[in-house]
Homo-oligomer: A and B are copies of this chain.
């Protein structure tokens, strides 16, 4: 792979998400060679993907070139690569651009959408885990409205204007809120010749509450906010199939919709070479100890969404969110330096900094350890925290300008179909 061998040990990191980047930063300017591989040349700030889908932000606002994050660090190598297999016997990774030996390996491949084995849902539904997926969803939403103008069949038109979001977690809730605001503020102006009041937004939640990782108070308030925005919430309903037209459920309920967004679950993005016994059965997460080590290895680690690390509060593994990923990355960085200095490792202790979700303008819910609050102030806190955690001053500025504009003007201007999704065949580019 054209990477020189140095006198320092080589740490190979697979994945440039929150965990991988946090780790790489810790190892910068240390006596260690770092090779970071990712299938994209950018880091994605996933919490704001729904704003890309809904035309509030462009990709460059929430993506950041990985090379730039680490450009001032010597001994740092980035490779745009798909890792195909890990050879734990020969300490080697096999990729589409060649093989590479490692001294230490860190699997930080994150998670991907979990369709629970339903290939028809996988084929027909939209996901929102990556920037291209989010742009596809944006295109589809806009294309559906253009198509709704063309049909005189009322059922078809309604199906084109119906949105079914499966899953009432933060992704589903935030997307539903954004769609509801678009329905209210933008559609009537953009499509005066369409009765956009008929557009419906549904959240289908298999459990008995939305935002189930948060407090009962936050969950209830989020539900109130969504209902005020006109979102229909269906609890204790499970979507069982979707053929591109009709979504069936485990109840009598069915939905006619051209757009089903699957936000019902994620699973670890595993790599060949990690044995089945090292994985948690349902979630495909790699079992790790308190030092992030994969069972049976001292020099192979997993961090972030892909890693299943348990503690007393989380017997089924820490939540698959940014905070544990960042903290594990930083902790592992420190531990790797301890290994090199032949010092004993320190166990990981998760510091829960709270969680939050936004529903719409002036509407958010925040759970801190000792304080739970909702509404306008929560919304400001949500915005501040998300701006703060974005990488890069320019990204913060551009997001800030967009948010202020969108707030003042009740608008989202990036409603552009740059890469046609549904009508790909129709439009020449």
Encode A388-413 as 1/0 by CB contact (under 8 A) with B.
Answer: 00001111011001100100010101
- Contact in complex: A413, B65 (CB < 8 Å): yes
Chain B residues positioned under 8 Å from A281 (CB to CB): none
Chain B residues positioned under 8 Å from A68 (CB to CB): 189-190, 411, 413, 415
Chain B residues positioned under 8 Å from A149 (CB to CB): 2, 79
- Contact in complex: B65, A190 (CB < 8 Å): yes
- CB within 8 A of A417: which of B41, B150, B392? B41
A97 interfacial by beta-carbon distance below 8 Å = yes
A276 interfacial by beta-carbon distance below 8 Å = no
A367 interfacial by beta-carbon distance below 8 Å = no
A427 interfacial by beta-carbon distance below 8 Å = yes
Q: Distance in Å from the Cβ of A80 to the closest Cβ of chain B?
A: 4
- Contact in complex: B59, A416 (CB < 8 Å): yes
A64 interfacial by beta-carbon distance below 8 Å = yes
Given A2-B152, A413-B65, check contact A429 B190 (CB 8 Å).
no
A191 interfacial by beta-carbon distance below 8 Å = yes
A282 interfacial by beta-carbon distance below 8 Å = no
- Contact in complex: B405, A394 (CB < 8 Å): yes
- CB within 8 A of A150: which of B42, B97, B193, B428? B97
- Contact in complex: B59, A427 (CB < 8 Å): no
A378 interfacial by beta-carbon distance below 8 Å = no
A235 interfacial by beta-carbon distance below 8 Å = no
A241 interfacial by beta-carbon distance below 8 Å = no
Given A82-B426, A428-B39, check contact A191 B413 (CB 8 Å).
no
In the complex, what distance in Å separates the CA atom of A96 from the CA atom of B427? 9
Q: Please indicate which of the listed interface residues A3, A77, A193 has the most CB atoms of chain B within 10 Å of its own CB.
A: A193
A154 interfacial by beta-carbon distance below 8 Å = no
- A128-136, A221-229, A351-359: which one contacts chain B? A128-136
Q: Distance in Å from the Cβ of A323 to the closest Cβ of chain B?
A: 25
- Contact in complex: B395, A398 (CB < 8 Å): no
Q: Which B-chain residue is minimally distant from A97 (CB atoms)?
A: B150
- CB within 8 A of A415: which of B65, B142, B192, B415? B65
Chain B residues positioned under 8 Å from A142 (CB to CB): 41
- CB within 8 A of A419: which of B77, B132, B190? B132
Encode A36-50 as 1/0 by CB contact (under 8 A) with B.
Answer: 000111100000000
Q: Please indicate which of the listed interface residues A65, A189, A417 has the most CB atoms of chain B within 10 Å of its own CB.
A: A65
Chain B residues positioned under 8 Å from A394 (CB to CB): 401-402, 405, 409, 411, 413
Chain B residues positioned under 8 Å from A59 (CB to CB): 58, 416, 418
Q: Please indicate which of the listed interface residues A1, A60, A71, A192 has the most CB atoms of chain B within 10 Å of its own CB.
A: A60
In the complex, what distance in Å separates the CA atom of A150 from the CA atom of B96? 11
Chain B residues positioned under 8 Å from A2 (CB to CB): 149-152, 193
A207 interfacial by beta-carbon distance below 8 Å = no
- Contact in complex: A416, B152 (CB < 8 Å): no
In the complex, what distance in Å separates the CA atom of A1 from the CA atom of B193? 12
A146 interfacial by beta-carbon distance below 8 Å = yes
In the complex, what distance in Å separates the CA atom of A142 from the CA atom of B42? 12
Task: Pick the 8 closest A-B CB pairs, nearest first.
Answer: A60-B414, A132-B429, A58-B58, A67-B190, A394-B405, A80-B146, A58-B60, A71-B189
**Can you list 12 A-B contacts (CB < 8 A)?**
A1-B150, A2-B149, A39-B428, A40-B416, A58-B61, A60-B414, A65-B416, A68-B189, A98-B150, A132-B419, A394-B401, A397-B401
* Contacts A82-B427, A394-B409 known; 9 new A-B pairs at CB < 8 A: A40-B416, A41-B415, A58-B59, A58-B61, A65-B413, A65-B415, A135-B418, A394-B405, A401-B401
